Amino acid sequence: MWRFAKCLLAEDRSRAAEHLRRALPYLRSAQEPLREAAVRFMGMAGRYLTGQQSEFRIICRALQDMTDDSSPAISCLALQALYILLAVQSVPSSRLQKMRDQLRRLWQARPFLCGHG
């Protein structure tokens, strides 16, 4: 799934907002794996919304709503994605690489951070 999202965004970054809007209905799915995939995709694709404030707010609101999901794993994932998106939006580009490295380490440690480790 991760590779699929990466390929989709690499193919046409200008359509990130369109792809994100298509992912929104999956957040309400009864199937946990679909909700999780949608949250993951939104976290990744939301980084491409620079300058698209209305779209960015929609994604942040959707992720914030997902922090109350019935699945603790999805709640934690949504919270992480939300924090990452907000941080990336507010960090100057000169510090972005260092932050990406820190976020990559955080992402790899996510089971521990969510109480599953």
Instruction: Compute the distance between CA of residue 6 and CA of residue 41 in angstroms, rounded to an integer.
Output: 9
pLDDT tens, position by position, 43-92: 887 777 767 788 888 888 999 999 999 999 999 999 999 988 888 777 55
Looking at residue 52, its pLDDT comes to 77
Number of domains within the chain: 1
Q: Name 67's Cβ contacts closer than 8 Å, sequence gap at least 6.
A: 75, 78, 79, 82
Find the Cα–Cα–Cα–Cα dihedral 12, 14, 18, 21, rounded to 10°.
110
Full residue range of the structural domain in which residue 102 is found = 2-113
pLDDT tens, position by position, 30-41: 999 999 989 988
